[in-house]
Structure 1
Amino acid sequence: MTYKQGDIILIPFPFSDLTGNKKRPALILNKPNVNKQSLLICMMISSVHRHTSSDIPILEWNEAGLLKPSVVRVNKIFTIDGSMVLKRLGCLNQNDFKPILSKFFSLFE
């Protein structure tokens, strides 16, 4: 399957200590023409009551294919092979995606 920047996918997201994983949504940050096999993604969570400074809420979560109000945890990023994607859930609109990309780039300033 072909994925694009802003797609929300379901993946086996690894625990930070690499002892296991949990199926959860993730957001694709990179453009497909950069590398068709590798996807740069960040974690999404529906536990919106536990915000950190790197969490960006998804305002139009239902339209994006999510079942619950969610946030993107921009500081939880990694690269996966496209074959690890279990399913495509939806896509963020530009109003939701732009603040996430801006926050992502600010991590490197």
Structure 2
Amino acid sequence: MTATQTSEPRLYDVWLMLVEFPDHPGVGKPRPVVITDIDGDLLSGIVAKITGNMSWDEAGDVPLLDWKAEGLDKPSLVRCSQRFYFNRSELLRRFGRLSLRDAEHVNDGLAASPDVPPHRRRA
């Protein structure tokens, strides 16, 4: 994965973030995420997890067609049903930005899984 510099997160940016496993609080791993919502303070919002496991096929799973141009190093998909709250300080590095067609597909994926609340880390 290649890094690109920017100061503030924007919708449809792809970032690296430590993603906590919802079933194991305090345990997780760094992984790519796509920013799907930003709060008015521009310092927090919601991301959806990106995975290289292309075998997922549930509501809200969106294969990225332009994954290489978006800064990812292998075919990937967005798991729109796996959303997480973030604070700006948790975003480690920016990879790139979704293409227009991938952003539209992610919007469709989010609409297909609207009843899934984002995971919030336990303090």
Same fold by TM-score greater than 0.5: yes
Displacement after TM superposition at 1:63 (Å): 0.3
When normalised by structure 1's length, the TM-score is 0.90
Distance in 2, matches of 1:92 and 1:9, equals 11
| Structure 1 residue runs of 4 or more that deviate by more than 3 Å after TM superposition | none
Displacement after TM superposition at 1:67 (Å): 0.4
* 1:104 aligned residue: 110
* 2:47 aligned residue: 41
Task: Count matched residues.
Answer: 108
Of the three residues 51, 60, 69, the one matched with 1:63 is: 69
Map 1:1-109; keep pairs closer than 5 Å.
1-17=7-23, 18-31=25-38, 34-108=40-114
Q: Which amino acid aligns with 1:30?
A: D
Q: Which runs of 5+ in 2 are unaligned?
A: 1-6, 116-123
Q: Which runs of 5+ in 1 are unaligned?
A: none
RMSD of aligned alpha carbons: 1.6
3-state DSSP class of the match of 1:86? Answer: strand
Larger mean CA deviation between 81-90 and 16-25 belongs to 16-25
